[in-house]
Amino acid sequence: MNKRRVVITGIGAITPIGTGREGLWQGLQAHRSAVGALTRFDPSVFRSHNAAEVRDVNAADHLEARRAKRLDRFGQFSVAAARLALDDSAIDLAREDRERIGAMMGTALGGVGYAEEQLGVFLRDGVRAVDATLALAVFGGASSCNIAIEFGVQGPNSTNAMSCASGTIAIGDAFRQVRDGYADVMIAGGAEAPLAPLCFGAFAIIRAMSTRNDDPLRASRPFDRDRDGFVMGEGAAVLILEERDRALARGAPIYAELLGFAQTNDAHHMTAPRPDGAQAARAMRLALADAEVSPGEIGYVNAHASSTPLNDPTETLAIRQVLGVHAARIPVSGTKGYYGHALGASGAIEAAICALALQREWLPPTVNLDVPDETCDLLHVTGTGAAARVDHVISNSFGFGGINAALVMRRA
């Protein structure tokens, strides 16, 4: 089967640092964190008190009011980000064969936060007070299914729940659908709304999150010597993936070309990465092979860089294994210091960042990286970022359960 070329023609983002393509970009260029004291509920019972919240988005701005009321926050994020991406791509769905357009999304927790809220309603007011659409709102597939319903797209549809690699895997799987001819356009990304007591507390209990409660702006600090865990975030990002020739024919904006994708599994531990980084490195190598790109052609790595004591040095080891002698000259940044770790949405947010970095020739910095850990000896982008015209980038996402995923993109 001939492999078709796949390009990114639309970007929709709802993040703590900004909404839409330009909101995300402006947030990156502000060079500051959006982490603050958690306000959605009182977190004082837990060790960690900080989060990166989306504060400036009214779902009604992107959805019909009636529709917005039928969706929980996770669902609203999904559909709103998809609308932003479709608008950005300038696709006229009324003129398209919607059987050739699909939706693939990723989420670690889906609507679990809303289920938790409704449990409180049940315990307080009884079963008749529970939202009648609860079952339809909380399952992970509500993300891609609600996107399909909202826009009438009838092609391939799925939502994966592969922890913090979910968004990257959704984009990778959607890339293959277009490349291999099963669809012409795919709406792909990730969404997460985990800021509810039980969801948040579960990560606090296993001591995965930062306890820098007195200095939230500096709590998420990838690769830094003083990092002490990730900061939970929320949000969504959606990309429009399109077969290149049809995108060119309709004069679509092209941000970048997707070239390769791969995923592996550590088969080691549910929370700790495999210490030798072998399977994380293998995911990167397989993605490069899929893209037919050599390690020396990579110009930038957007790292998973969760700001946890174990992940950052293990990822460093994996990057060094893959890039070899080139690692000393290839810039690397971890952007979660800006917007926290939005679990299954993070990889999609970072894929959007990579596409924009290629188009606009600027690499975002790792904020809060004051003193790099000696075990994280890479060429880190710091300060106010770096102007750079690069041809190829690789974006990594790693998740609980030992999930490893990588995407390779090329400048359009």
Q: Which residues are catalytic?
A: 164, 304, 341
Interatomic CA distance for residues 42 and 64, integer angstroms? 31
Residues ≥6 apart with Cβ < 8 Å to 92 = none
Cβ neighbours, 10 Å, residue 3: 12
Closest by CA to 327, choosing from 317, 336, 335, 337, is 317
Interatomic CA distance for residues 72 and 53, integer angstroms? 16
Q: Radius of gyration of the chain from Cα atoms?
A: 20
Interatomic CA distance for residues 203 and 399, integer angstroms? 13
DSSP state of 372: B
E strands present in 223-336? 235-243, 256-265, 300-302, 331-333
DSSP state of 325: G
Sign of CA dihedral 199, 205, 207, 213: positive
* Backbone angles phi and psi of 64, in degrees to 5: -65, 145
Q: Are 369 and 219 a contacting pair, CB within 8 Å?
A: no
* Backbone angles phi and psi of 378, in degrees to 5: -120, 175
CA distance readout (Å), 156 to 102, 183, 305:
5, 7, 31
Closest by CA to 104, choosing from 25, 24, 169, is 169
For residue 71, the SS3 value is: coil
10 Å CB burial of residue 130 (0-12, 13-18, 19+) is middle
- Pairing, β 6-15 against β 235-243: antiparallel
Interatomic CA distance for residues 160 and 166, integer angstroms? 6
Q: DSSP of 10-24, one letter per residue?
A: EEEEEETTEEHHHHH
